[in-house]
Amino acid sequence: MEDFRKMLINFKLNLSRGQVSRLVLILDEDMEGTISLEEYYNALEAYGVESEKHYPLDGTDYYVPFTHRAMFKLIMILKDRGISYQELYRSCDVNNDGDVNISELESVLTGFSAEFYQKDTQAIH
């Protein structure tokens, strides 16, 4: 992480230690201590940041966008548990204001599975 922080300093982004830590948590979703190219691209897509065109990293001929993969993950969990989209929405809208904010969605998704990362929540939201 210190090497990453030094690199960011070279870019003169002036991020605090806390901001760098948060960025690493977002990028390094498997918490292995390294940021793979796939993790990097997933984060860019999840947060709507345009980047250079990239190709499937798994050797297939067809690229499935990260946002679609996150939704597929959610759809499979809902299907396996017999939860309708309406039930999902009602369980997310904790304060009954008619809107589901990112923290409400994140709370429900992480309750479904530890496999939902911040990037997944952002992409689904």
Q: Is residue 86 part of a domain?
A: yes
CA 29 to chain centre: 8
Q: Is residue 87 part of a domain?
A: yes
- pLDDT greater at residue 102 or residue 21: 102
Return the minimum-mean-pLDDT range out of 28-32, 55-59, 83-87: 55-59
76: domain range?
Answer: 62-124
Q: What is the mean pLDDT of the chain?
A: 83
Return the minimum-mean-pLDDT range out of 8-17, 20-29, 47-56, 101-110: 47-56
Given the structure tokens 């990097």, which residue do they identify? Answer: 40
- Say what the pLDDT of residue 16 is: 80
Q: Is residue 72 part of a domain?
A: yes
What total of structural domains would you count in the chain? 1
Question: Cα dihedral sign for 84, 98, 47, 39?
Answer: negative
Q: pTM to 2 decimals?
A: 0.67
